[in-house]
A = this chain, B = another copy of it.
């Protein structure tokens, strides 16, 4: 049985738990023998997008390039897990149109909870005015209009969030046994 390609696109505030859940899920999918690629800021900013900052234009360009890569991998039967704040509906829609097999996962957590976690000290820097255009602080995060899956990392464990996504994929025939 050939694997069906798809892109799971995780959107959510900084520190909402996108990477944690996606990494756990990636491991699970790989254990099933599936081909998986993870795309996130730390990975793409090394090469693909290292000229870009965090203005609206730069964010848009960043997502545009990632979308190009996700599209090519998806149509070649890879499970692509993208974790980007990706705060704007307009740009999410463009990615969906381009990629086709695009599954939007809204990773929910309140700004207060995200600021408390602050794994990289970015929320603190935003509050101190050292970073500008920080989503959730001085740049807006638009609630996704039509996410296929919503997880809440404040009320669910990582395992629970992961299971929610796996169940969805299984029901839609995306999982390989």
Q: Which A positions have Cβ atoms within 8 angstroms of B?
A: 35, 37, 44, 47-48, 51, 61, 64-65, 67-69, 72-73, 76-78
A48 to B67, CA, bound (A): 9
Could you say which residues of chain B place their CB within 8 Å of the CB of A72?
Answer: 37, 69, 73
For residue A170, give the distance in angstroms from its CB to the closest CB of chain B.
22
Residue of B35, B68, B77 near A69 (CB, 8 A) is: B68
Set B44, B64, B73: member contacting A76, Cβ < 8 A: B73
Distance in angstroms from A148 CB to nearest chain B CB is 23
Task: Give the docked Cα–Cα distance between A51 and B72 (Å).
Answer: 20
Q: What residues of chain B lie closer than 8 Å to A35, measured between beta carbons? A: 76-77
Query: CA–CA, A78 to B65, complex, Å?
Result: 19
The 3 closest A-B pairs by CB, nearest first: A47-B68, A76-B78, A48-B68
- Asked whether, in the complex, the Cβ of B68 is within 8 Å of the Cβ of A61, the reply is no
The answer to whether B65 touches A48 (Cβ under 8 A) is yes
